[in-house]
């Protein structure tokens, strides 16, 4: 199995480390040529995409400037499994309630950006994730999901706010699973995504 990791900005290296720990192969997407080379080399292309945390506005602009926006959007709409964390969630959200901008907008969720205010900008908690039990959750200037469409499955909530969800082959987390690598945790959310790809 080979995954593409969007490597324009933000915490992509930590995702790559999680994939390494799970023994999954990946390549970095920094420009259009990376996508094209991958499709040409393997014919089938690749099996999944990770969009990391960082700044959604910066990543959104770079996707446009680099000509990656349409090809990536079409791959996702065509069924390529995608996993977005934090800013990645914002890039996939159909709506952002407190921002005019919308980006790839492939997932039927409405997100609230920088939703926890200044004081609670960053925090750590351990909460239930559907099917995985209690897992560590690190939030950094995170969004949450205010509402979801009919086909969206809610996977985790913190203080009543939705922080993880899935729609078909799209998975999003408001927190940063790639920043937790204790042996007890064992990259459970990344492993969940790899199972989603194989379903």
Positions marked active-site: 86, 176, 178
Nearer to ligand GLN, 114 or 127 (CB): 114
Q: How far is the CB of 188 from ligand GLN (least distance, A)?
A: 19
Cα distance between residue 133 and residue 121, in whole Å: 25
Give me the residues that bind ligand GLN (CB under 6 A), please. Answer: 53-56, 86-87, 90, 113-114, 140-141
Q: For residue 36, what are its two tokens? A: 């094209």
Contact 81, 169 (CB under 8 A): yes
Q: How far is the CB of 143 from ligand GLN (least distance, A)?
A: 7
Cα distance between residue 151 and residue 171, in whole Å: 12
Cα distance between residue 97 and residue 181, in whole Å: 32
Nearer to ligand GLN, 79 or 121 (CB): 121
Nearer to ligand GLN, 24 or 87 (CB): 87
Q: How far is the CB of 69 from ligand GLN (least distance, A)?
A: 16
Nearer to ligand GLN, 98 or 198 (CB): 98
For residue 45, how many C-alpha atoms fall within 13 Å in the half-sphere facing its CB? 16
- Residue 46 CB partners (closer than 8 Å, separation 6+): 2, 3, 4, 27, 38, 80
Q: How far is the CB of 49 from ligand GLN (least distance, A)?
A: 16
């Amino acid at each position: 199995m080979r995954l593409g990791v969007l490597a324009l900005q933000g915490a992509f290296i930590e995702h790559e480390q999680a994939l390494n720990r799970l023994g999954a192969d990946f390549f970095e997407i920094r420009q259009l040529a990376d996508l094209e080379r991958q499709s040409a080399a393997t014919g089938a292309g690749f099996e999944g995409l990770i969009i990391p945390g960082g700044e959604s506005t910066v990543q959104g602009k770079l996707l446009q400037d680099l000509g990656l926006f349409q090809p990536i959007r079409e791959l996702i709409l065509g069924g390529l499994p995608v996993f977005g964390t934090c800013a990645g969630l914002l890039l996939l959200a159909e709506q952002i309630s407190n921002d005019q901008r919308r980006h790839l907008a492939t997932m039927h969720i409405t997100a609230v950006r920088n939703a926890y205010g200044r004081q609670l900008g960053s925090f750590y908690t351990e909460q239930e994730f559907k099917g995985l039990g209690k897992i560590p959750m690190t939030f950094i200037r995170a969004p949450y999901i205010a509402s979801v469409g009919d086909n969206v499955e809610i996977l985790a909530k913190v203080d009543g706010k939705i922080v993880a969800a899935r729609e078909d082959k799209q998975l999003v987390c408001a927190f940063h699973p790639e920043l937790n690598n204790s042996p007890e945790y064992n990259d459970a959310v990344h492993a969940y995504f790899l199972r989603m790809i194989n379903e």
